[in-house]
Structure formats: structure tokens, C-alpha cells
């Protein structure tokens, strides 16, 4: 074997080993959803924290529900992560979202194709991104002076109050 091929192979193996051994980031996420009326104008707020870095995300919709915004906040947060396999702790005041995942309900709902369940479009979107990370949910009491939760609430409410809100295409009014 030629030396240049041997060295190239060793370099590749070393580089690949280094790349696969890179420590996955620990991400802290705060989320909140809000609606002014249920249904009504709504929005979500997200804070992503990794080390010294922090990013805030928010968006508002014309007609939606608080639970849709709570779930959408989690989805947007996970979709914003750049490194697959990240360890993610999500702090949410939504029992609907936290319990659905931590108690495994959403996986049963999926097996039954979400028959009779609300927000299947968002749960399907969630289930497409969820396995790409190591996600843990922590429920926090809303409006209890938790700075991350309070800031997300501000972001969600501000987003819901903006003019020219987008349509929540997946929202289905109850008949």
C-alpha cells in the first residue's frame, strides 16, 4: 500500500473518531404559549440557552388555541437546534405537552393515528423532530416568578398582539 493512501486513511479515521467523539451540547429551553380567547389570537415564546449563548423566538397567529401554541413552541425550539443528539431540557408550564410526552400518551395516540385527539398536525410534526435529540420535559408552574417562563410568556403575549398575524393553517375549529 502506498504511504500517501495509508496516511490519508489514518487521517480520515482519526478525524472521524474525533468528530464522533465531539461532546453534544446541553441545551436549556423555556417555552410558553398564549391565546387571547381560546380560540383567539395567539402566540408562542421560546428561549434557547447553550453555555453563554441565548436566543429568543416568537410568532403570532390570528386564530388558534393556547394548547396549539404551547406545543408549537416546543416544536419550533427543537427544529431550531443545529446539532442532532443534543441533550435538551425543556421547561414548560403546559401539563398538556409535558404529560403527553413524559407519560407516553402521545406515542399511544400516534399508534391510533390520533383518532379523536386534538392537534394531530402538530403532534406529527413533534414526533418527526423529537427522536433527533435527547429530550426531557420539566413542568414549571406558570406565573410563579420563574424568569425563563415569565420571559416566554411576555414573548408569546407580545406575538399575539402584533398586527397582521399569520393564519394557523392547522387549527380546526370545533363543530
Which residues are marked as active site?
A: 32-33, 70, 93, 143, 153
Q: Are 23 and 46 in contact (CB under 8 A)?
A: no
Return the exposure string of 79-90: e unless at least 16 CB atoms fall within 10 Å of the residue's CB, then b. Answer: eebeeeebebeb
CA dihedral for 92, 42, 120, 128, sign (positive or negative):
negative
Q: Are 74 and 135 in contact (CB under 8 A)?
A: no
Best CA proximity match to 147, nearest among 71, 56, 38: 56
Amino acid at each position: 500500500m502506498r504511504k500517501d493512501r495509508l496516511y490519508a486513511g489514518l487521517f480520515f479515521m482519526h478525524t472521524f473518531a474525533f468528530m464522533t467523539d465531539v461532546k453534544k451540547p446541553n441545551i436549556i429551553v423555556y417555552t410558553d404559549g398564549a391565546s387571547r380567547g381560546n380560540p383567539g389570537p395567539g402566540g408562542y415564546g421560546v428561549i434557547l440557552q447553550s453555555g453563554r449563548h441565548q436566543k429568543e423566538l416568537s410568532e403570532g397567529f390570528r386564530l388558534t388555541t393556547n394548547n396549539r401554541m404551547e406545543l408549537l413552541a416546543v416544536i419550533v425550539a427543537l427544529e431550531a437546534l443545529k446539532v442532532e443528539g443534543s441533550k435538551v431540557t425543556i421547561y414548560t408550564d403546559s401539563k398538556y405537552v409535558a404529560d403527553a410526552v413524559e407519560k407516553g400518551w402521545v406515542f399511544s395516540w400516534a399508534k391510533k393515528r390520533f383518532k379523536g385527539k386534538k392537534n394531530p398536525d402538530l403532534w406529527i410534526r413533534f414526533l418527526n423532530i423529537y427522536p433527533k435529540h435527547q429530550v426531557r420535559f420539566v413542568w414549571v408552574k406558570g406565573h410563579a416568578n420563574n424568569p425563563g417562563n415569565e420571559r416566554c410568556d411576555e414573548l408569546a403575549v407580545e406575538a399575539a398582539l402584533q398586527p397582521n398575524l399569520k393564519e394557523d393553517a392547522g387549527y380546526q375549529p370545533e363543530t
